[in-house]
Chains A and B, each alone.
Chain A
Amino acid sequence: MNMTNQLASLGRLTIDFVVGLGRAGLMLWGAIARKPRIKGFPLFVRQLYIVGVQSMVLIFVSGLFIGMVLALQGYNILVGFGTEESLGPMVALSLLRELGPVVTALLFAGRAGSALTAEIGLMKSTEQLSSLEMMAIDPLRQIIAPRFWAGVVSLPMLALIFTAVGIYGGHVVGVEWKGIDSGSFWSILQASVEWREDIVNCIIKSLVFAVVVTWIALYRGYRVIPNPEGISKATTQTVVQSSLAVLALDFLLTAVMFGR
């Protein structure tokens, strides 16, 4: 009996997951599979400000520090082989290939994703979304779509800023502090970073993460249980689920991009 109960709960979990996936897909479809309107553009710009511009200080500072820490740790190891000039490619490639997209997406989930969930969750529980529908305004187009596009546009931008700032952070530690020759730092870096292999893959990765993180955040807010506890739970779920999704997807993408 106990066995069958467990089996049933496993089945329920799976069905819930598939149903949730379907609902999330329908929400996204309803929000973005429409002809864009000119009227919606100011809404998008406003969200770009909230989602993108307000995350910039965080991204800037963490990018700088992560680049500096990478350079410091890398220097300590590379100097043992007498190859400390290779610090440049080490910092640049680890930022471009992994840390830039991933850390930005994790920070974005915490900074912007949770805010999106809480905002839409509160709209839902105070029945603002239903009121919009009563006024014949589609909340998917009015509320969800601009936030989704703002997330998709701003996360790759933030990842690029993070990476560029991180490389300069590594330059500060490596060249200014540890005294690596500036010319060889940049030339070895430039010789080993590829446009297609590294930069395009960095952008593809962060685009995928942007869609996933924003989607999860919006869906969690849209399907919130309309009470304070539900909102707090949804916010937590946004951060936990999008972090896990980002890390798992990162492995898959890395395997496809660099696993050959």
Chain B
Amino acid sequence: MLTRKIEVLVGLFLLSGFTAFLVLVFNVANVEVKTGNSSYTLYAKFSNIGGLKVRSPVKVGGVVVGRVSAITLDTSELVPIVELSMDKEFNQFPETSSLSILTSGLLGEQFLGLTPGFMDEDIAMLVDGDRIDDTHSALVLEDLIGQFLYSTSSKD
């Protein structure tokens, strides 16, 4: 009935389909195999988040230590609240750390830069559910241009 050649070729076909899947998953999407819930949550309040999106990275000196997991609006103060899901591996940030919204390149994606603060005996580490108070909002190009125009016209 079935020739050996057909069986071998069908096997090769399925194998190459599976290889393509693996290449896409591990080489293109770069899925990191993680077990369980190995992250802790931090909150931060900004006055303007610019183009920050859910899943934008949180970086310390360029190293990704977490991602933005949710963006909501504080209904009483009407400012954005950003929820960060931080990798458990990096949990040694002091409470004095600050967050700023940065842009990679001039036109690139926006991300959160975490600057570790000073450490002292009476300063605790950030733990699950903590809030970072020292935040710097996004640099909005339109605002900058507006300020620039305003300052040049007031000089005249």
Contact surface of A with B, Cβ cutoff 8 Å: 42, 45-46, 48-49, 52-53, 56, 81, 83, 92, 96, 154, 156-158, 160-161, 163-165, 167, 186, 189-191, 193-195, 198-199, 202
Nearest A residue to B13 by beta-carbon distance?
A: A53
Is there a chain A Cβ closer than 8 Å to B24's Cβ?
A: yes
State the Cβ distance, B58 to closest chain A Cβ, in Å. 13
* Contact among B2, B6, B21, B27 for A160, CB-based, below 8 A: B21
Return chain A residues, CB-CB under 8 Å to B108.
Answer: 83
Residue picked from B13, B14, B25, B108, most chain A C-beta under 10 Å: B13
- In whole angstroms, what is the CA distance A49 to B9 when docked? 7
Query: In the bound complex, do residue A52 and residue B10 qualify as a contact, i.e. CB atoms below 8 Å apart?
Result: yes
Main secondary structure of the interface of A (DSSP, over half): helix
Asked if A45 and B20 make an inter-chain contact with CB atoms under 8 angstroms apart, the answer reads no
Asked if B2 and A198 make an inter-chain contact with CB atoms under 8 angstroms apart, the answer reads no
6 more CB-based (< 8 A) A-B contacts, given A45-B6, A83-B107, A160-B24: A49-B10, A56-B16, A157-B13, A167-B24, A194-B29, A199-B29
Q: Tell me the bound Cα distance from A154 to B13 in angstroms.
A: 9
Determine the residue in chain B with the shortest Cβ distance to A160: B20
Number of A-B contacts (CB under 8 A): 80
A164 touches B13 (CB 8 A): no
Q: Is the CB of B24 within 8 A of A45?
A: no
Closest 10 CB pairs of A and B: A157-B17, A190-B30, A164-B20, A160-B20, A195-B29, A161-B20, A53-B13, A193-B29, A49-B6, A195-B31
**Cβ contacts under 8 Å, B60 to chain A:** none
Residue of A with least CB distance to B57: A191
Query: Is B1 among interface residues, defined by CB-CB distance under 8 A?
Result: yes
Say yes or no: is B124 at the interface (Cβ < 8 Å to chain A): no
Would you give the shortest CB distance from A176 to chain B, in whole angstroms? 17
Bound-state Cα–Cα, A53 to B57, Å: 42
Beta-carbon contact of B13 and A163 below 8 Å = no
Asked if B14 contacts A157 (CB within 8 A), the reply is: yes
Residue of A at shortest CB range from B7?
A: A45
Cβ proximity bits B76-108 to A, threshold 8 Å, 1 near / 0 not: 000000000000000000000000000001011
